[in-house]
Each structure stands twice: as structure tokens, then as C-alpha cells.
Amino acid sequence: MSDDETGSGAPATDACDSALVDAATLPGVPDEFQRLWTPHRMAYIQAGPEVLRKECPFCEAPRKSDEDGLIVFRGRTAYALLNLFPYNSGHLLVCPYRHIATYDEATDEEVAEIGLLTQQGMRVLRQVSRCDGFNIGMNQGHVAGAGVDEHLHQHIVPRWSSDANFFPIIAKTKALPQLLGDVRRAVWDAWHA
């Protein structure tokens, strides 16, 4: 088949590649974004924000098994779990069991345990992932960027000197190199060693 027979101006392909289509020939406006397909996020997209509002995910997680709840450690007043929608591999959350919205509502005991679990989480993540640093913080209230603003939670996001390379900045693509279940198992094992 010649270029003229394909109608695309693209060179003809071998018979084994006949089902492949050069994406550059597809309709649409080219842009600077690369696509990294993440079909596992479809459950989050299809569920929409209403599902998160029916049941508080941070009240529900401790009622599940550690594996199903993505929990890596259970304390007396607070617990640590993996973020279901992580910014980086190993992104942990530390939550009080009690359903409170803001840090100033936490008891002294909850504040102390949230701090202790944050420190322990950092140590474990350093050991497991050899990260170079962390972003730690709490978004309190919807206006402040909290996805689940009715239940206090602290983020522990591991960072590497190379995680802000061209990929997310120029290529506008974020790669998560490990499956969530594998990360949870590694963090849980290290935390309980």
C-alpha cells in the first residue's frame, strides 16, 4: 500500500502493524500534554463527589480490614493510611478516629498522636522509598483545598530530587511507579518490623 492509498499521507505499515494508527493523524487539536493512561481512576471519576459525602472515607476506613482500608498503622486516637489518590507513591494521611473538621478541635492527645504518627510515617517512608524530603500539611476547609473537608487529615507526601523533573513540569504527566497495594504492603511491613 502506498502513502496515497492510506489517505493519511503517513507511510504504509507492515501487515502486522495494520491495526495501529499513528496518533498524529487522528482528529483533534494537538497540545503539549502527553497521556499516561490511568484507568484505575475511573472508579473515582464515576463515583463523583457525592459518594464521598454520603459516607466519610476517614470514618469508613478503620471499619475495614487494614488492606481494604489502605491502613498502615492503627494508634489509640489516630491512624495512618495511604491516600487512595496519591500525589506521589507512598503519599500517607494521618487521621484522628474522631470525626472532627479542623486541627483546633483535636484534643491534646490527638494532636500528640498525629504528630507522633507523622514522624513515624516519615521514618518509614525514608526507609522504604529512600525519598529525599517531604511535603507535610493540612488543608482545612473546602476553600483551602481539602478534598474531604469534614474530617481532619494530615498529608505526608514523599519527595525525590528527580520527581519534579520535566515529566510533571513540561510534559504535564505524573507517573506513579508502584501499584497502591504494593506500596501499602511495603509501608505496612516496614512500620511493623
- Where would I find the H helices in 20-147? 42-54, 57-60, 66-69, 108-129
- What residues form DSSP beta bridges with 94? 80, 154
Burial code (b: 16+ CB inside 10 Å, e: under 16) for 112-141 equals ebbeebbebbbebbbebbebeebeeeeebe
What's the sign of the alpha-carbon dihedral 62, 68, 74, 79? negative
Active-site residue identified among 40, 91, 151, 153:
153
Active-site residue, 155 included: no
Maximum CA extent, the chain: 76
For 16: left if phi > 0, alpha if psi spans -120 to 50, otherwise beta; the answer is alpha
First to last CA, the chain: 62
Catalytic residues: 153
